[in-house]
Structure formats: structure tokens, C-alpha cells
Amino acid sequence: MPNSKSKAQASSWTIEDAERTYGVSSWGGGYFTIGDNGNVKVLPDHNKPNVKIDFEAIIAEIRQEKIQFPVVIRFHDVLRSQVITLNETFNEVIAEAKYKGQYNGVYPIKVNQMREVVEEIVDAGAPYDFGLEAGSKPELLAVLAYNTNENSLTILNGYKDEEFIRLALMGRKLGRKVVVVIEKFSELVMLIRVSKELGIEPIVGLRSKMQSKGQGRWQGSSGERAKFGLTIAEVIKAAQLLEAEGLKHTLKLLHFHIGSQLPDIRAIKDAVNESARIYAELHKLGFNMEYVDVGGGLGIDYDGSQSTNDSSRNYSLREYVADVVYGLREMCDLENVPHPNIVTESGRAITAHHSCVVTEVVGEIKPEGADIDTSATENEHILLKNMREIHNHLSDSTNLQEAFNDASQWKEQASQAFKLRVISLVEMGKIETLYWQIMRFVQAAYKDADFIPEDLQGLDYSLSSQYLCNFSIFQSAVDSWAIGQLLPVTPLVGLNKKPVKNCSLVDITCDSDGKIDQFVVDHAVSDIIPLPAFSENEKCYLGMFLTGAYQDVMGDMHNLFGRLNEVHIFSHDDDPEDFYIEEVIKGTTVEQVLSIMQYHPSAMAIDVKRSIDKEVAAGKIPPREGVKWTDFYEDCLAGYTYLRTAD
């Protein structure tokens, strides 16, 4: 009774199975979990374990508000919680280590410059005097307006022109602790000149090119070929120049940044050690520096493996903090110099968890497309007969490898024969249908086998469906395309039911790169992910998580798909669903994306109306219908760039 067996299997699927399959707790950082009802839940605040927000309730409210998918959901509490956790961890470790300096962290806004994000971080960080970092003139303009706390640092990295430096000195005039970090020697010459001209003393930082190499994707950020920073010789020259100009006391900070998403803690320890030596030596030369800035690089465990994979990290936040604090303490004590204040520029670690993209599956692309009637007709080609022969004799005793080999070969030959006009279109269609049926049989026969021959191992992938999802990878998950970054994907509701389909995902751009076929499933990287069956009637919402760092702001308008509708969520203990939507930010309209590309949408609407009027005047379109077409064109211009799906 095969039926009762499959029923038993279905009912034996548990939340633990779902957890193992999708790894939600492994990458969720304590913020995401699968609830007993099978829905993904958000635990926005580690200090309030009873506050749990159910994605089903969020989706229901988004639909009720008639906000179109795909949407970005921002959990402001998660952002706040990350800021607090980072600061508290540093403060705890500093106290425990009896470290004499303080922690003065900054948030590098390039990781997510959204005003709401920056404001939330500044607000949550206020009790800790948490500051901001800018790496360009536009970012500096934003930071000058938003980091108004006189006790927090404003750190300026990146290449600078004279305007940049004037703005920095203007910040000094406003009483802010603006540190100009010298990336290139000539910047220091300019800084000294402008500062003397304006009569405003700078706070100077030096970025040192480290010998210690970060690992992972950004290892080019250190070493001799690094794009930024001063060599040891330049550090010495810079210090000497400051001294000669009577500005010795303005050199306050030593900076390094050996790359983002550092997978291996050893690289961090190494770099901290190296920077502590430089700091100590400069101190001994009479430069009383106050800060060592260890840059960014604090990683995120995107794949939940706690490993040195590029998408993971082999350390915890606490371990990272301890290595920085104890590393600096040890070297400074050996060198007999004061413990510096510690600056970090963690961006990814603060922002990654706070946002996710929710998209709907809008279609299924099966490898075989459709089945057609394969019954035999007279005089059909021998290749078709051969294929049917294999198909009709499939049984428990079939030699599966042989069936696979033969069918693959017949199909290849058939495709040649078709091009040579030897077999007809209908014959080719039948051959394809039979071929896929044979492959499905072979796959099913190997389903629970311990050993699968090498040739057949790709069958699960080649027979898997592609789920078409209403989003653009280039807008919403650009690193997944650009650098093969893994981002966790999971269904948001119904995880208490056994997923029945293995699929990869494709987006709605006209670009074959617009796909995701790298997932973490059962703790391993897989090209397919098990998902619920696709049905036209029941919506399947997928969440793409950890998109708050870089992805939110680096996306582009490939195919003119614009920014997403955004829903900002705050937790609220007294609310029956534990949350409320605080703000909705409309995504880009078609008009807006066209305008960016230099079109004039209102003129276009007039042109199209004119064409319609002409057809109406010629009697080819009835006037009422003409008005409808005109309105329709205008509505679409004002509308969302993504697919409109039925409610």
C-alpha cells in the first residue's frame, strides 16, 4: 500500500525537520525561528522573549493594506538590538579585561545609507556615544547632519578632495569629533594647508596598509597592493610632517581595515597585533594617539555553518570582541604604553539581520515543459521507436544506468537528426516527452539509494523545477549574483508540512543570470531547495534573509525594475500580533525609473494619447474604449515596476 506509506512519511515531518532543512536558527542570529504552527517568527528583541511576530500576520497585514509584493521588511527592533549588543559586549569585555580605554564604535553608512536605518542606529547608539563613518562626500554630508552627538566620533575614510576636507573642518567648527583618516599621503598635505588657511585644527587618523591578510572575498583590502592606506614608511613620513608643522598633537587615531566578512578569526588577531605594534611604536616616538580603529570585517554566518566558508565565520561576536580587547591590552602592556580607545566600523554585522525580502512564487518552469501523446504511428523514426522501447520496458528489474545512458544518447542523436531534417517536429516532441519520463523513473528508483552512480547524480538538479519569483536579483540580492554570496531562503508559512518540490529560483528579469541556485539545505550547500508545491490558488511566499547589509542599497535597475515597497515594523508587546507597521515607503514607480533614464513620462502619455485619438478619429477604436486605453497606459506609468499578481 504505497499510499499509507507516503501518508505516514508526511505526518512524520516535524518542525525539527524543517529547522534542519532550512537552518533558520543557524543563520537567524537569535532573531528568527520556526514556530510550533510552522510559520517563521521574528524575535526582535533578545530581552523580550515573549514578543514573537508571525510572518503570516505580517503578510496578512501587508495584503490588507494593499501593498504590492515584492516587499522589503525592516525590523527596527533588530537593528536597535544589534547596536546595543555590540556596544554592551565591548563594554562587558573591557570591564572584564580591566582594559583602560573605552569603546567608541562607529557605523559605516555605506553598508546601508537609508535615512531610517541611520537614524535608528544613531538613536539606539546614543547612550553609548556610538558614531558614524563616511567614505565619500555624499556620505559625509549625511553624517554631518545626522551625527550631532559631540561625544561620538565621526570617522572619514575614502579618497578626499578639498571640498571633502573643508566639510570635515566645518564639522570641527560645529564641535564634532571629526577624524580625517589619511588614505593617501597627498591628502595630509592638503589637510594641513586647508586647516591652516581656515584656522581650524583637524583630528588626524592614519590608515595603515597591513601586512596581515584578511581571508575571504575581500582579502585584497590589505597587503602591499591594497588600494587604501599608507605603508610603514609613509606612516613615519606623515608623522614627521605633522610634527614639523606643529601639529604633532593632532595625530589621534590609527586605522586599518583588512576586508569585509572575515571568515577566519586568526586574520583579525593578526591584524590587531600588527596595528598595536604600530600604535605602540608611534607612542614611543612621542605621538600620544588615543584611538586604534580596527575597521570592519566582523562577519555574518549567512550559511549557518560556523566555518571559514566565504559566507560564514568561525567565531562569535564575543570572541571577536575579546580578541580585539585582549590583543590590544597584551601588546600595550608589553610595550608599556596606554591602552587606546577602541573604534570598530562594523556595518555588516549591525545591519544584515534587520531586513528581508518577501517575494511570491508566480510560476513553475518544469524541465520537460509539457507531456504530449507519445503513442506510436506508422513509419516513425527508429530513434523514436528505440526511445519508446526503453520507456515501455521500465520495471523494477531495469538496469537503470543502461536506461539512462541509452536514453541520453538517443535524445542527443535525435536532436542532430532533427536539424538534418531526418525526424519531424512531432517525433522530436515525442522523443523529449519519453526521455523525461524515463529520467523521472530513474530518479524515483534511486530516491532512497545509498549509492548513486556519478552520471546520475545530476538528475535531481536537471529534473528540478525552477520557481519563478516576483523580484529582481539585481535589485534585491545583488551579491548573490555578483560574488556568489549565499543568502538564506525559506518559505515563510506552512513549514510544518513536508516540502514536496526540489527547485531552484529564477527572477523576472530577462537575464539568465537572474537566478538563485545556491542554498544551504541540511547544513550543506545545494543547488536546489525543497519547497511546497506551486499552485495558482494558494500563494507561496518566500523570504530571502540577511539582506540588510549592502543588498538593500547596492541594487540596480536592471530591466528597469526599481526599488521595492518597504514596510517598517516595530514590535509592540500590547498588540495582539506583537507588532505594528510604522511606515510604508513606496517603491519606485515606472515613471520614476523611466525619468532616471531620461524619458519624459508625461510627454510619453500625451504621445500615446495622440496615437489613440488618431485611431478613434479614424473610427478604428470606439471613443469609450480609447479613453480606457489612455487611462490604462497612465495607470501603468504610475504603477509598481514588478508583476501585479491577483489578490
In DSSP terms, 361 is beta-bridged to: 469
One DSSP character per residue, 388-438 reads: HHHHHT-STT--HHHHHHHHHHHHHHHHHHHHTTSS-HHHHHHHHHHHHHH
Contact by Cβ (8 Å): 139, 579: no
> Residue written as cell 517563521?
40
For residue 267, the minimal CB distance to ligand PLP (Å) is: 12
Q: Is the peptide bond before 70 cis (omega within 30 degrees of 0)?
A: yes
Among 263, 296, 555, 626, binds ligand PLP (CB under 6 A): 296
For residue 550, the minimal CB distance to ligand PLP (Å) is: 7
The CA–CA distances, whole Å, from 553 to 135, 259, 477, 536 equal 15, 19, 10, 32
CB-nearer residue toward ligand PLP: 118 or 542 = 118
For residue 295, the minimal CB distance to ligand PLP (Å) is: 5
Q: How far is CA 273 from the centre of its chain?
A: 31
| Strand intervals (E) in 208-255 | 251-255
Alpha carbons 26 and 39: distance in angstroms, whole number? 16
For residue 251, the minimal CB distance to ligand PLP (Å) is: 18
Taking residues 107 to 146 in sequence order and writing x for each that binds ligand PLP by CB under 6 A, - otherwise, the string is -x-xx-----------------------x-----------
Q: What single DSSP character describes residue 589? A: B
Chain positions 223 to 262 lying near ligand PLP, rule: CB under 6 A, are 257, 260-261
Among 29, 171, 297, 548, binds ligand PLP (CB under 6 A): 297
For residue 348, the minimal CB distance to ligand PLP (Å) is: 3
Contact by Cβ (8 Å): 632, 622: no
CB-nearer residue toward ligand PLP: 138 or 453 = 138
CB-nearer residue toward ligand PLP: 106 or 362 = 106
The residues near 130 (Cβ < 8 Å, ≥ 6 apart) are 83, 87, 105, 106, 107, 121, 122, 124, 152
CB-nearer residue toward ligand PLP: 131 or 135 = 135
Is the Cα dihedral 586, 591, 594, 600 positive or negative?
negative
Buried b (16+ CB within 10 A) or exposed e, 578-600: bbeeeeeeebbbbbbbbeeeeee
CB-nearer residue toward ligand PLP: 207 or 388 = 207
Q: Cβ-count burial of 632 within 10 angstroms (0-12 exposed, 13-18 middle, 19+ buried)?
A: exposed
Taking residues 339 to 378 in sequence order and writing x for each that binds ligand PLP by CB under 6 A, - otherwise, the string is ------xxxxx-----------------------------
Contact by Cβ (8 Å): 208, 232: yes
CB-nearer residue toward ligand PLP: 58 or 298 = 298
For residue 467, the minimal CB distance to ligand PLP (Å) is: 31
CB-nearer residue toward ligand PLP: 70 or 340 = 340
Contact by Cβ (8 Å): 186, 234: no
Among 105, 50, 111, 101, which Cα is nearest to 83's?
105
Listed ranges 106-114, 118-126, 310-318, 470-478: which one lies at the site for ligand PLP (CB under 6 A): 106-114
**End-to-end Cα separation, the chain, in angstroms:** 40
For residue 92, the minimal CB distance to ligand PLP (Å) is: 20
CB-nearer residue toward ligand PLP: 77 or 293 = 293
For residue 491, the minimal CB distance to ligand PLP (Å) is: 29
Q: How far is CA 170 from the centre of its chain?
A: 35
**Cell numbers given for 36:** 510550533
In DSSP terms, 74 is beta-bridged to: 355, 568
The CA–CA distances, whole Å, from 418 to 118, 382, 407, 423, 429 equal 61, 13, 16, 5, 10
Listed ranges 41-49, 295-303, 306-314, 453-461: which one lies at the site for ligand PLP (CB under 6 A): 295-303
Taking residues 154 to 193 in sequence order and writing x for each that binds ligand PLP by CB under 6 A, - otherwise, the string is ---x------------------------------------
For residue 259, the minimal CB distance to ligand PLP (Å) is: 7
For residue 174, the minimal CB distance to ligand PLP (Å) is: 23
Alpha carbons 364 and 369: distance in angstroms, whole number? 10
CB-nearer residue toward ligand PLP: 519 or 550 = 550
Chain positions 573 to 632 lying near ligand PLP, rule: CB under 6 A, are none
Considering CB under 6 A, how many residues would be counted as binding ligand PLP? 17
Q: Should residue 298 be labelled a site residue for ligand PLP when binding is judged by CB under 6 A? A: yes
Q: Which residue is nearest to ligand PLP (CB)?
A: 296
**Cell numbers given for 476:** 534585491
CB-nearer residue toward ligand PLP: 139 or 360 = 139
For residue 296, the minimal CB distance to ligand PLP (Å) is: 2
For residue 112, the minimal CB distance to ligand PLP (Å) is: 10
CB-nearer residue toward ligand PLP: 106 or 431 = 106
CB-nearer residue toward ligand PLP: 110 or 568 = 110
For residue 133, the minimal CB distance to ligand PLP (Å) is: 6
519-521 and 524-526 beta bridge pairing:
antiparallel
In DSSP terms, 502 is beta-bridged to: 530
For residue 8, the minimal CB distance to ligand PLP (Å) is: 48
CB-nearer residue toward ligand PLP: 28 or 296 = 296
Q: Torsion-angle region of residue 369: left (phi > 0), alpha (psi -120 to 50) or beta?
A: left
Binding site for ligand PLP (CB under 6 A): 108, 110-111, 135, 157, 257, 260-261, 295-298, 345-349
